[in-house]
A and B are shown apart, each in its own frame.
Chain A
Amino acid sequence: MAELTVSVVSADAEVWTGAARQVVARTTEGEIGILAGHEPILAVLAAGEVRVLTPEGTTVTATADDGFLSVEHDRVTVVARNAQLA
């Protein structure tokens, strides 16, 4: 299965970047799960955590609030003013 390229960035640093199988984030509308081949989307994030499932099967959790999530061509970018690995 194709992989996602994920990067989580905060205002002053790149928090995490790498490949992933699935990304789960909480937007203002509710939780959203993204797999490879997802349609392009731009969503506003609600306060909460972003879970990234890596191909090795481990989960990376990051807290992110005040930001947004963008997906295009299997590239997922989580942008938040304050983001850090939990």
Chain B
Amino acid sequence: MGAQLRVYRQKIKSAQTTKKITRAMELISASRIQKAQQRVAASGPYSRAVTRAVSAVATYSNVDHILTTEPEKVTRAAVVLFTSDRGLAGAFSTNIVRESGELVARLTAEGKQVVYYVVGRKAAAYFAFRRRAAEKIWTGGTDRPEFATAQEIGRTLVEKFVQPEEEGGVNEIHIVYNRFVSVVTQVPEVVRLLPLEVVEGDEKPAPDEALPLYEFEPEAADVLDALLPVYIESRIFNAMLQSAASEHAARQRAMKSASDNADKLITDYTRLANNARQSEITQQISEIVGGADALSSAK
């Protein structure tokens, strides 16, 4: 067998094995999207209820609380990045890193100091490589987030938020994550968690309208104290679930195009291999004919 032909055969075989792997990963991701999507849907009522309650307090009470009041001067902001643990998911993690870069540039331009919190091995590796300091890193389980992790992240952030500024506390918390729109679309999204920005559900009452009197038990300030960590947790858990669903979707798409590319490579190399085989045969025939000619003319 000719050297050229052997090289082509090797390449075909390698593309075939790669395709087997990427196809398997594609199928695994496809089956997991469903489950991740269901979890996003299941956590919906909770985060909706929490957000509604928070906006109710923010809208209907005039209690001065750290949760609802805008600080006069923001010196430090926390940025939380939600990436994946594993790669092979297209631009999933890169998008987040890029998006956070833009956010940080904006914050720095406003004279704010940025503190990073990182979720996912990919962003952790990025930070380690660039020797950029992250305040805290959580890795593992990004494809199947657990509520306990969200609780831990929430606790850390709230602690930092209520800490006085001089001791390293932050005045703002931003999160950057991939929002799951559909299986084909995931949008990297930047959300300011604190101070409260979005007031969903409840319409702001008209200024001349009498506010429905919300009763608080025990006291409005205590309710807000209890609500703050719950709100942060639910938003973070929701972001983690969305990010997990997006990760599976992104991986499925990346692996599908990898399998398609492998298919194309296999066809191309098969054609080249056929060509090589044919030209080898042609060459052998012409050698035989040439040899026979030479022999017969030598007689």
Q: CB within 8 Å of B: which residues of A?
A: 7, 9-14, 27-29, 32, 39-44, 67-68, 70, 72, 77, 79, 81
Contacts and interface: CB of A to CB of B under 8 A. Distances in A.
Interface of B: 39, 42-43, 45-46, 49-50, 52-53, 56-57, 60, 147, 151, 212-218, 222-223, 226-227, 230, 233-234, 237
B213 A39 contact: yes
Among all A-B residue pairs, the 9 with the closest Cβ atoms: A43-B217, A41-B215, A9-B45, A14-B45, A79-B49, A44-B226, A40-B214, A77-B49, A9-B46
A27 B42 contact: no
The prevalent SS among residues of B at the interface is helix
A23 B43 CA distance: 23
A43 B227 CA distance: 10
The prevalent SS among residues of A at the interface is strand
B233 to A, nearest CB: 8
Contacts of B57: 42
B217 A29 contact: yes
Contacts of A68: 53, 223, 226-227, 230
Contacts, number: 83
A41 B214 contact: yes
A11 B46 contact: yes
Contacts of B226: 44, 68
A84 to B, nearest CB: 13
Contact of B49 (A7, A27, A29): A7
Given A12-B39, A14-B42, A68-B226, A43 B49 contact: no
A17 to B, nearest CB: 8
Contacts of B52: 70, 77
A70 B46 CA distance: 13
Contacts of A12: 39, 42-43, 46, 147
B53 A77 contact: yes
A13 B44 CA distance: 8
28 contacts: A7-B45, A10-B46, A11-B43, A11-B46, A11-B147, A11-B237, A12-B42, A12-B46, A14-B46, A28-B217, A28-B218, A39-B215, A40-B213, A40-B215, A41-B217, A42-B57, A42-B214, A42-B215, A42-B217, A43-B223, A44-B222, A44-B226, A67-B230, A77-B49, A77-B53, A79-B49, A79-B53, A81-B233
